[in-house]
Structure 1
Amino acid sequence: MTTTNRTTGPKTKLQKAAQAVGAVFLLVGILGFIPGITSNYDTLSFAGHDSGALLLGIFQVSVLHNIVHLLFGVAGILMSRINDQARNFLLYGGVIYLILWLYGLIIGHDTPANFVPVNNADNWLHFVLGIAMIALAILLSRETYRSRGATTR
C-alpha cells in the first residue's frame, strides 16, 4: 500500500523523514508533560533555568520547552505534505538546532539567559539533531531529484 499525497502523489522518502521527525518531536513534547517519564515533575516551571524537571531523567525541560517541541512537531508533520516544505523543515530545522546548540554552549546554565532551559545533555542532543536533520535534507533531496527528475519537486 502506498501513501499518497494530495498534491504530489506518493510520499517521497524526504517527506516520510520529515513526517517521522515531526512525529518524534510531537511525542517528546507530550512526554515532557507526563509525570514519571519526566522526573522531578513537581519542579516543572513555565520557563527558566530553575526548572528541575528532567525528561527521561536526563534532558532539562519546562512548559515552554515542551510547547516548542509540540509546535516543532506539528510544523514537521504539516510541512511533510509537500516535498519542498519537507526539505525546508529538515534543513532549516537542523540549522535552528545547531544555533540552539551554540546558544547552549555560550550561555551560562544558571543564568536568566537560559530561559528555555537547556543542560549539557540538551546541548549535545541539539547538535546531533541539527546534523542529522541537515544530512537527511541533503541526502534525501538528492535521491528524490535523481528518481523523479530534476524538474519535479
Structure 2
Amino acid sequence: MARNARGGRSAGPKPRVQLATLAVAGVFLLIGILGFIPGITTDYDQLSFAGHHSEADLLGLFQVSILHNALHLLFGLAGLVMARSLAGSRLYLAGGGALYLGLWLYGLAVEAVDEDSVVNLLPINNADNWLHLALGFGMIALGLLLSNQVGTGGRLDTPFDRP
C-alpha cells in the first residue's frame, strides 16, 4: 500500500488478505447473530448458556449455545479490528485457523472419551467437527496464500516515482 506525502497510507484498495479477513469476520458475526434468531436456530427454547446439553441447532444442523454464539460474535469483532493491518489480518486468519483445528481436535477427543464430561463446555456435534476442520484449513490457507510476500520483512511499497 503506497504512502502519501505526509507518511500516512493512501486510500488505495485493501490487500486481498485484509479483504478475506473482513469477509471471514463478517461471516462469524452473521453466524453469531443467526444463532440467537428463533426459526433459523431450531429448538430455540432448548438453548442453554453453555455445555453440551443445549439442544438448539443453527440451521437445524450445528449445535449451539449462548456461549457458542457469543464466541462467534467476539471472534467476528476481533477479525474486524485485526483486518485494519496486514499483520493483524495474517494473524487472524492463520492463528484463527490453527485455533479451529485445535477446536476440531477437542471435539474429536470429547466424542471419543465422554460427551457428558465437565470439560465439554461447548455444544459440539459431528457437523460442528467437520465444519471446524474445514474452517481451520481454509483460514490457514487464506492467511498464507493471499499474503504473498507482504509482511515478510521486505519493503511494503515501491512507489513508481522513486527508484
Name the TM-score, length of structure 2 as normaliser. 0.84
Aligned residue for 2:155?
Answer: 151
Aligned residue for 1:130?
Answer: 136
Letter in 2 for 1:151: R
Query: Are residue 78 (structure 1) and residue 81 (structure 2) matched?
Result: yes
Query: Are residue 50 (structure 1) and residue 53 (structure 2) matched?
Result: yes
Point out the structure with max Rg over C-alpha: 2
Q: Name the count of aligned residue pairs.
A: 145
Name the TM-score, length of structure 1 as normaliser. 0.89
More helix per residue:
1
RMSD: 1.9
Task: Pick the aligned partner of 2:119 from 99, 113, 116.
Answer: 113
For the 8 Å contact 1:109–1:119, the answer to whether it is kept is no
Deviation at 1:109, TM superposition (A): 2.9
Aligned residue for 1:31?
Answer: 34
Q: Which runs of 5+ in 1 are unaligned?
A: 1-5
Deviation at 1:114, TM superposition (A): 1.6
Query: Are residue 87 (structure 1) and residue 90 (structure 2) matched?
Result: yes
Deviation at 1:152, TM superposition (A): 1.3
State percent identity of aligned pairs: 57
Q: Which runs of 5+ in 2 are unaligned?
A: 1-7, 158-163
Deviation at 1:59, TM superposition (A): 0.2
Aligned residue for 1:68?
Answer: 71
State the secondary structure of the residue aligned to 2:150. helix
For the 8 Å contact 2:86–2:150, the answer to whether it is kept is no
For the 8 Å contact 1:109–1:118, the answer to whether it is kept is no
